[in-house]
Amino acid sequence: MIPCIESGIPGFDELTRSNDGTGGIPENTATLIYGPAKTGKSIFTNQFTYKGLTNDEPCLYITTDNGYKQFKNTMEEFNWPIEEYIDNNSLYLIDTISDISKGKPSQSESFIQSYINNPTDIMVKIGSGVHYIYKNNPRFRSVIDSATTLLAYNENMLIIRVLKAYLMRVNEAGGTPIIVYTQDTADSIIETMSKSMVDNIIRVDGEKLYIEAMKGIERRSSPYQITDNGIVIK
């Protein structure tokens, strides 16, 4: 039996149900979600994050697209308030994009700043983030949203190395990581390498969600919609 954690996306756990009755995201495996821009990849991972938080599964979230404020607003738009989880330190946020030289928002125990073009620093922060979360709960989730921005600001091969180190670190600690990537924004070889690093591959194209690979089940797909409550699989 493959133990799974609830995805938080209505219909997804049913779509991925295996013969032994489990469905969701296989626990302690790595997932890549990719597809064109504006197809709901971030919404998917935000739902995944929020589900974890409400299930007492903390989340290590590395944001490279939206700074803290924007991330918080986006979550609130879908009625997924995160303030409480930031306050109780179960949402551990590494913000690599807010310009800290201006304004310098204060860091707290679980809100950490880093720099998009400094993978060394990002990895240090991920290392201490994993330790921090693991100490409180060995079952946790992690999200990088998105690899695309990391790739845009750095040499691609370097980011592949960084993502590998990230997945290894989170997997070793028992966590379940998801990486977001916007299709066709990097060389096809980088795309292939990204896919080869993960256990599960999910593609979204705005109309359908495809399970291209997942531990324990064959390929599947289903139409989906982006609603006011997030992604719903039909």
Partner 1 sequence: MKKTHIPKLDDFLGGGIPKGSSILFCAVPGVECEAFGYQILNGIIEDGDKGFIFTNVTEPQNIIYEFSKYGWNLEQFLEEEKVFFVDGSSNFMGVPPMGKYSIDELSQIEGVVLKAIDDIPDGIGVINNLSTLLDYLEENKIIEIIGKWNKRAREKNTILVYIFTKWDYDPKIIENIKNSVDNVISLTSIEERVIIGQGFMVTSASWTTPSKNMVLFFVLQPGGVKIYIPKILVTGPYNAGKTSFVKSISKKSVSVERMAMEKFPTTIAMDIGHVDHNGFVADIFGTPGQERFDLMLDVLAKESVGAFILIDSSAPQTFARAKEMIKKTQSEAIPKIIVANKQDLPGALSPEQIRKTMKLDKSIPIIPTVVNENIGVEKALDAF
**Closer of 131 and 220 to partner 1 (Cβ):** 131
**Closer of 19 and 101 to partner 1 (Cβ):** 101
Please identify which residue in 4, 25, 93, 130 interacts with partner 1, judged by CB under 8 A: 130
Q: Which long-range contacts (CB under 8 A, 24 or more apart) does 219-226 make?
A: 220/15, 220/16, 222/11, 222/15, 224/11, 224/40, 226/40, 226/43
- Tokens 């821009």 identify what position? 37
The edge-to-edge listing of strands for the beta sheet with 230-233 is 111-113, 91-95, 59-63, 141-145, 176-182, 31-35, 200-204, 208-213, 220-227, 230-233
- Tokens 């204060």 identify what position? 106
**Tokens matching residue 8:** 């938080």
Q: Using CA atoms, how far apart are residues 59 and 149, in angstroms rounded to an integer? A: 20
- Supply the minimum distance, in Å, between the C-beta of residue 80 and partner 1: 27
- Supply the minimum distance, in Å, between the C-beta of residue 232 and partner 1: 36
Q: Does 111 bind partner 1 (CB under 8 A)?
A: no
- Supply the minimum distance, in Å, between the C-beta of residue 226 and partner 1: 31
- Supply the minimum distance, in Å, between the C-beta of residue 76 and partner 1: 29
Q: Using CA atoms, how far apart are residues 178 and 31, in angstroms rounded to an integer? A: 5
Q: Which stretch binds partner 1 (CB under 8 A): 67-75, 78-86, 148-156, 185-193?
A: 148-156
Residue ranges in 160-199 that form contacts with partner 1 under rule CB under 8 A: 161-162, 164-165, 169, 172-174
Give the total of residues touching partner 1 (CB under 8 A). 31
**Closer of 25 and 159 to partner 1 (Cβ):** 159
